[in-house]
Amino acid sequence: MTDRQFSATAANSGNSADGFRVQLGGNKPLRLDSEAELGPFAMAYQTYGTLNQDKSNAILVCHALTGDQFILGPHPVSGRSGWWEHMVGPGKTLDTARYYVICANVLGGCMGTVGPQDINPQTGASYGLDFPVITIKDMVEAQAMLLDYLEIDQLFSVIGGSMGGMQVLQWAVSYPERCFTAVPIAAAARHSAQNIAFHEVGRQAIMADPEWSEGGYLVGDTFPVRGLAVARMAGHITYLSEAALHRKFGRELQDRAEVSYGFDADFQVESYLRHQGISFVERFDANSYLYITRAMDYFDLAAEHGGVLANAFQDVETRFCIISITSDWLYPTSESREVVRALNAVAANVSFVEIVSDKGHDAFLLDEPTMFDTLGGFLNGAAKLRGLDLT
């Protein structure tokens, strides 16, 4: 296996990021939950900071549904800031002067890791819907293969919000010995009926677009622009709170003093949503959206343990810091409490903090000082315990 520089743009951004793309599973393919096998497959990742000598300062950051490995910007496609610049960087909570931060594009993604847009070696054409359906556990297995490749036995921490938090929980269940600490933020141990419902709307919007061509749009050189934009719009509403939408937009009109009595984007909130839809299409693959939402829907950590979540965490020694957000209605605090209760039931080491914010689910991406203080304090304590201050 050989590394190759994946993104010169990111590497030269001044953020000291290194971008790589590796081939994994060449000797032994990854056996997926669906029983399909994948390998060799490409995995793209970025690293920030420096791995210390005994490889004890590595933090794996897991990204959310529409995120990617570019925690810090500029993003190679959009040119915009990275998605977690508030959290990660020199002197930040995930201090890259201290920690070695790794973030890999998830399995099924569209930023360098193998996904439905890639070439199916068996056909020589883009996978499309021939790509195997993947799960959160499969994503974690692929990340574990990456850690093996990097020869990192144990992560100081595995951290992520939303779908990233699901991966964190799966990590602590699949590889407790490899996670010194685990920080799931704004997440849940299973996807709720309402969450599945919203995802299904997004998938149906994509599949309703004739340009989707039963998933084969790349062969025909088309793209379900409108369907994917509608999916993004529906999803985006769920990431914000009603209060945040009201404060940001209320009923303010867009570039006009009066309503138009028509179907233009009269209201700022309409204009904003349309923009969200259009700009998303430029950086995301429609089939990846199908596959990744499906992986989230399938996530149910208790299911493999007789329906009892606590059983998933038996004998776990990982230290948990669980964070929820008051106004998050997609992954409400009650879902985090379920995880806390399960961890308490097996006498695990767990801190739980609910961050007061009216910004909704997406608050985990924003400048939330209480979240940074909470997580910073937790990591400092754990770093002492791990002897990280001495290295």
With CB under 8 A as the contact rule, the residue among 8, 208, 356, 385 that binds its own copies is: 208
Q: Which residues pair with 89 in a beta bridge?
A: 95
With CB under 8 A as the contact rule, the residue among 104, 159, 173, 229 that binds its own copies is: 229
286-298 vs 163-174: helix crossing angle, rounded to 10: 50
Give the total of residues touching its own copies (CB under 8 A): 56
Continuous H helices in 69-224: 136-150, 163-174, 193-208, 217-220
Q: Are 185 and 323 in contact (CB under 8 A)?
A: yes
User: Distance of alpha carbon 239 from its chain centroid, rounded?
Assistant: 13
CA-to-CA separations, 131 to 126, 127, 257, 268, in angstroms, rounded: 9, 5, 50, 39
The number of C-alpha atoms within 13 Å of 9 and in the hemisphere containing its C-beta is: 12
- For position 237 contacting its own copies by CB under 8 A, the verdict is yes
Minimum distance from CB of 296 to its own copies (Å)?
12
Site for its own copies in 110-169 (CB under 8 A): 129, 132-133
Nearer to its own copies, 50 or 254 (CB): 254
Nearer to its own copies, 86 or 226 (CB): 226
Stretch that binds its own copies, among 89-97, 150-158, 169-177, 197-205 (CB under 8 A): 197-205
Kindly tell me the burial class for residue 142, based on how many C-beta atoms sit within 10 Å of its own C-beta (0-12, 13-18, 19 or more).
Answer: buried
Enumerate residues 6+ apart whose C-beta is below 8 A from 140: 167, 170, 171, 174, 175
3-state secondary structure of 164: helix
Task: Give the type of residue at 322.
Answer: I
Q: Are 256 and 270 in contact (CB under 8 A)?
A: no
- For position 358 contacting its own copies by CB under 8 A, the verdict is no
Catalytic residue among 7, 56, 162, 324: 162
Catalytic residue among 328, 336, 357, 362: 328
Kindly tell me the burial class for residue 328, based on how many C-beta atoms sit within 10 Å of its own C-beta (0-12, 13-18, 19 or more).
Answer: buried
Q: Which residues pair with 31 in a beta bridge?
A: 37
Residue 328 designated active-site: yes
With CB under 8 A as the contact rule, the residue among 274, 283, 305, 337 that binds its own copies is: 274
Minimum distance from CB of 23 to its own copies (Å)?
24
- For position 257 contacting its own copies by CB under 8 A, the verdict is no
Stretch that binds its own copies, among 14-22, 55-63, 104-112, 196-204 (CB under 8 A): 196-204
Site for its own copies in 315-354 (CB under 8 A): 329, 332
Residue 361 designated active-site: yes
Minimum distance from CB of 203 to its own copies (Å)?
7
- For position 192 contacting its own copies by CB under 8 A, the verdict is yes
Minimum distance from CB of 27 to its own copies (Å)?
25
Site string for its own copies, 277-296 (x = CB under 8 A): x------------x---x--
The C-alpha atoms of residue 11 and residue 320 are separated, in whole angstroms, by: 32
Stretch that binds its own copies, among 2-10, 102-110, 176-184, 206-214 (CB under 8 A): 206-214
Enumerate residues 6+ apart whose C-beta is below 8 A from 277: 228, 229, 230, 232, 233, 236
DSSP string covering 219-232:
HHT---HHHHHHHH
Is the Cα dihedral 67, 68, 69, 70 positive or negative? negative
- For position 28 contacting its own copies by CB under 8 A, the verdict is no
With CB under 8 A as the contact rule, the residue among 150, 265, 310, 366 that binds its own copies is: 265
Residue 16 designated active-site: no
- For position 198 contacting its own copies by CB under 8 A, the verdict is yes
Minimum distance from CB of 286 to its own copies (Å)?
12
Minimum distance from CB of 152 to its own copies (Å)?
30
Kindly tell me the burial class for residue 293, based on how many C-beta atoms sit within 10 Å of its own C-beta (0-12, 13-18, 19 or more).
Answer: buried
Site residues, its own copies (CB under 8 A): 33-34, 36, 129, 132-133, 190-194, 196-198, 200-201, 203-205, 207-210, 226-227, 229-230, 233-234, 237, 242, 245-246, 248-251, 259, 261-263, 265-267, 269-270, 273-274, 277, 290, 294, 297-298, 300, 329, 332
Catalytic residues: 162, 328, 361
